[in-house]
């Protein structure tokens, strides 16, 4: 067979055509699939990093809001304490004026009481005369001491500054650095002083700022622990992870506990021999914030031959660098799997095509070989030879004509015998031809069945769903992964239109995508849509779709691969929720409040109607934390949040800005008075927290109305805040 020149020429042509086709399919499809899947994995990692960055920003804003709120509460507390002392001085002064006590007795009695007074964290009251002589102080060393020239650690005059603001403005705040009682280290202190002109005294008390800083540090530590818990649950690709460090290269959060709280400034990039930390920091400030580098693996330590990629984000307020890191081979793992399977299918198809070509050529050349042998025998004078050619076509006609010619020559010898013999031979030949055709058809059907089984096995073994639909969106073919994911039986799904398992929004989205593919002929990769399973549950898939064409290049349908990304979507929604909600109360946070308030004002401007903003905080909330602890305070804040939501309609917007400050955006302007009444009544009711009956919490509420009090977000917030502090001042008075 291989000695035939005709066979070699035809076989070589078939071999080249099949080889070119297989190579073309491989090199045109594999790079496209690999590039598309890599970009999809990279986009997913960047989305996760961006959501974590927004979560950190939200926590930072909450801590800053608490810092401002706590300092304001401390200032109000100082003012309340001084006012109480002022009342005591007025009482003694009146006793002196009425003749009940002498002036000296009245002064000594009140000074003696104040020297023993303590409150808060070893805080106290002190009094100085206009000459800066301390006439009342709990520290015996400072009693009657002249402080007219005493300065703090930075050279600022202490007592003269306090006296000056009290005498010029009657009351005011002064900041300087001083020691706590019974301690020698200096701490920043905020002092409130008030003038008592009747005796030419200045009453003063202060709070150490480090008390507020300690609470801020506690909240930041709690935030880091919560963030650590969240990041350890997030995976990038298969083994990738997120980590956080600062500019000193101290590792703050890392999925490996052994690495956390360590400094990696001496850890070098094995290829560049530079600090890997400095390279990561530099990458964070580039236009494209990512870094490629070689690293080892946990199961192959010391061999820095595995390429990694880290995407970076810098959070300036905390001086944090947030990174998402993964081995690049994991981003290509899915593409590599599909490439190998396509290569395997191409190889099998190539071998089957060669085998089919050999069988076809072998059967094709049998008549040629028979005719050649017969011609040689006829040339030698043997007229009894016949060419036994089976099948159809020109070779059969040629052989038949040749045999007929020989038959007519022999007919001169024995016409009848030749006719009978020829008829019998024709019947045998027809029967043999029929049997051979039947056998060839069986072989061809068996080869097609095996090829179909191999293709079916490949599709059924991939985890992603594969489907083919006609131009109307009716399913014509799919693998097991698709119908198992949708929850239908295979026979139920066959012929079903895609509109059955999508809602109206996704129906339009999918139609537009398929229509774009139909118009342009270009495939579309990695578009997301939501499927509705048979049981009613939702499943998110990431789909790649291309056009199916017939032999005449006419579009007949679409084929695609759908990957289940439900878990990834769930993680993205959780991170999005945390970015816009307060983690303690579940209310909207400051970021959500600002965005919603801007939208509300835009609607009010369009429809020319009013909108009302409530700005409130809790009176004496600090007393809850000081008396019962911060855990009880947090539980009380949750209860306050629930009561606020019950006080307004569902369409109204309740937010927690931080600490004990809340806002309410009313979407209607017809029931403001009723809301104020319900909020005051509900918030002022007694709280039962961990067995403690707390009945002294009341709200101070400030209200601003658009457009009466302002036409933009900042002016309305300032107005409501000012009204709240007026309300608080009136309540304290």
Return the closest-CA partner of residue 642 out of 599, 685, 693. Answer: 685
Rounded CA-CA distance 303/653 in Å is 56
Per-residue model confidence (pLDDT) at position 28? 59
Contacts 24+ apart (CB under 8 A), 721-730: 721/615, 723/615, 724/615, 724/616, 724/617, 724/700, 725/700, 726/702, 727/700, 727/701, 727/702, 728/76, 728/617, 728/619, 728/700
Cα angle 216, 222, 224; round to 5? 105
If one counts every other C-beta atom within 10 angstroms of the C-beta of residue 698, the result is: 15
Greater pLDDT, 129 or 38:
129
CATH fold for domain 462-572: Beta-Lactamase (3.30.450)
Q: Is the fold of 232-331 the same as that of 462-572?
A: yes
The burial class, CB within 10 Å (0-12 / 13-18 / 19+), for 416 is exposed
Count H helices and E strands in the chain, helices first.
18, 21
401-431: pLDDT as tens digits: 767 776 776 776 555 556 757 765 776 676 6
**Among residues 658, 663, 614, 654, which one has the least CA distance to residue 634?**
658
What digits encode the pLDDT tens for the residues 548-603? 988 888 899 999 888 888 888 887 888 888 889 999 999 999 999 999 999 999 99
The answer to whether 304 and 320 have CB atoms below 8 angstroms apart is: no
Q: Which pair of structure tokens corresponds to residue 43?
A: 């986009």
- pLDDT, tens only, 57-110: 988 888 888 888 888 888 888 899 999 999 999 999 999 999 999 999 999 999
| Secondary structure string (H, E, C) spanning 576-597 | HHHHHECCCCCCECHHHHHHHH
Residue 55 clears pLDDT 70, i.e. is over it: yes
Q: Which CATH class is domain 232-331?
A: alpha beta
Question: What pLDDT band is residue 159 in, cutting at 50, 70 and 90?
Answer: very high
Active site positions, annotated: 660
CB 241 within 8 A of CB 255: yes
Task: Give CA 210 to chain center in angstroms.
Answer: 36
Please tell me the class of the 581-732 domain.
alpha beta
- Residue 6 scores a pLDDT above 70: no
* Half-sphere exposure (Cβ direction) of 601: Cα atoms closer than 13 Å: 20
Count the Cβ atoms, other than its own, within 10 Å of residue 71. Answer: 15
Residue identified by tokens 């000081």 is 626
Chain-centroid distance of CA 282 in Å reads 24
Q: What is the CA radius of gyration of the chain?
A: 44
The residues spanned by each domain of the chain are: 232-331, 334-460, 462-572, 581-732
Paired tokens of 445: 């059907």
Omega prior to 707 cis, within 30 of 0 = yes
| pLDDT tens track for 266-284 | 998 988 889 999 999 999 9
Rounded Cα distance between 189 and 393, Å, is 110
pTM of the model: 0.42
Q: What are phi and psi of 383, to 5 degrees?
A: -90, 0
In sequence order, what are the residues at sequence separation of 6 or more whose Cβ sits closer than 8 angstroms to the Cβ of residue 437?
390, 391
**Within 315-463, where are the H helices?**
328-331, 333-379, 394-410, 415-461
pLDDT at site 725? 93
Cα gap 180→191, rounded to integer Å: 13
- Give residue-wise pLDDT tens across range 435-449: 677 677 666 566 566
Residues 572, 578: Cα–Cα separation, whole Å: 10
């Amino acid at each position: 067979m291989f000695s035939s020149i005709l066979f070699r020429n035809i076989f070589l042509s078939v071999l080249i055509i099949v080889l070119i086709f297989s190579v073309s399919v491989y090199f045109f499809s594999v790079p496209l699939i690999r590039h598309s899947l890599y970009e999809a994995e990279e986009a997913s990692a960047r989305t996760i990093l961006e959501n974590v960055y927004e979560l950190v920003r939200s926590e930072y804003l909450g801590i800053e809001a608490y810092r401002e709120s706590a300092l304001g509460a401390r200032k109000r507390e100082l003012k309340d304490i001084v006012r109480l002392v002022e009342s005591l001085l007025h009482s003694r002064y009146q006793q002196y004026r009425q003749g009940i006590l002498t002036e000296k007795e009245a002064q000594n009695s009140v000074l003696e009481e104040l020297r023993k007074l303590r409150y808060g964290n070893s805080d106290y009251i002190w009094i100085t005369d206009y000459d800066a002589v301390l006439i009342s102080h709990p520290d015996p060393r400072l009693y009657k001491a002249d402080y007219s020239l005493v300065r703090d650690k930075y050279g600022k005059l202490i007592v003269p500054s306090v006296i000056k603001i009290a005498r010029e403005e009657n009351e005011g705040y002064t900041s300087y650095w001083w020691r706590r009682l019974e301690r020698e280290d200096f701490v920043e202190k905020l002092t409130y002083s008030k003038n008592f002109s009747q005796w030419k005294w200045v009453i003063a008390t202060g709070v150490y700022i480090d008390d507020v800083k300690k609470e801020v540090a506690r909240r930041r530590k709690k935030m880091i622990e919560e963030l650590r818990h969240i990041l350890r649950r997030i995976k990038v690709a298969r083994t990738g992870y997120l980590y956080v460090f600062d500019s000193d290269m101290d590792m703050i959060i890392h999925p490996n506990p052994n690495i956390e709280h360590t400094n990696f400034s001496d850890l070098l990039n094995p290829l560049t021999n530079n600090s890997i930390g400095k390279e990561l920091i530099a990458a964070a400030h580039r236009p494209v914030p990512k870094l490629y580098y070689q690293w080892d693996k946990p199961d192959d330590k010391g061999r820095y031959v595995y390429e990694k990629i880290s995407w970076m984000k810098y959070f300036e307020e905390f001086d944090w660098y947030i990174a998402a890191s993964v081995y690049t081979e994991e981003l290509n793992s899915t593409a590599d799997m599909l490439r190998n399977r396509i290569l395997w299918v191409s190889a099998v198809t190539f071998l089957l095509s060669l085998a089919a070509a050999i069988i076809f050529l072998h059967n094709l050349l049998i008549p040629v070989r028979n005719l050649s042998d017969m011609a040689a025998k006829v040339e030698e004078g043997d007229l009894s030879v016949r060419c036994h050619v089976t099948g159809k076509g020109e070779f059969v006609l040629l052989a038949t004509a040749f045999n007929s010619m020989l038959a007519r020559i022999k007919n001169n010898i024995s016409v009848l015998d030749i006719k009978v013999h020829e008829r019998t031979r024709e019947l045998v030949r027809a029967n043999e031809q029929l049997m051979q055709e039947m056998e060839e058809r069986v072989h061809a059907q068996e080869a097609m069945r095996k090829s179909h089984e191999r293709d079916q096995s490949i599709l059924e073994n991939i985890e992603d769903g594969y489907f083919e639909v006609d131009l109307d969106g009716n399913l014509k073919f799919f693998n097991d992964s698709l119908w198992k994911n949708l929850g239908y039986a295979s026979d139920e799904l066959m012929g079903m239109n895609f509109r059955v398992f999508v809602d109206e929004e996704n129906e339009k989205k999918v139609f537009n995508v398929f229509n774009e593919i139909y118009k342009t002929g270009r495939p579309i990769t990695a578009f997301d849509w939501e499927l509705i399973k048979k049981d009613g549950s939702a499943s998110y898939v990431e789909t790649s779709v291309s056009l199916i064409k017939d032999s005449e290049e006419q579009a007949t349908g679409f084929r695609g691969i759908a990957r289940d990304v439900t878990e990834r979507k769930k993680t993205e929604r959780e991170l999005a929720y945390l970015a816009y909600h307060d983690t303690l109360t579940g209310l909207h946070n400051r970021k959500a409040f600002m965005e919603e308030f801007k939208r509300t004002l835009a609607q009010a401007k369009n429809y020319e109607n009013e909108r009302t903003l409530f700005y409130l905080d809790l009176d004496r909330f600090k007393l809850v934390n000081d008396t019962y602890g911060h855990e009880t305070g947090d539980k009380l804040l949750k209860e306050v949040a629930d009561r606020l939501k019950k006080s307004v309609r569902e369409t109204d917007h309740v937010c927690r800005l931080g600490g004990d400050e809340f806002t309410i955006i009313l979407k209607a302007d017809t029931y403001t008075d009723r809301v104020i009444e319900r909020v005051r009544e509900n918030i002022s009711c007694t709280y039962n927290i961990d067995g403690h009956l707390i009945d002294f919490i009341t709200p101070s509420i400030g209200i601003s109305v658009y457009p009466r009090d302002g036409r933009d977000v900042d002016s309305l917030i300032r107005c409501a805040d000012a009204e709240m502090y007026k309300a608080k001042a009136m309540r304290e008075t």
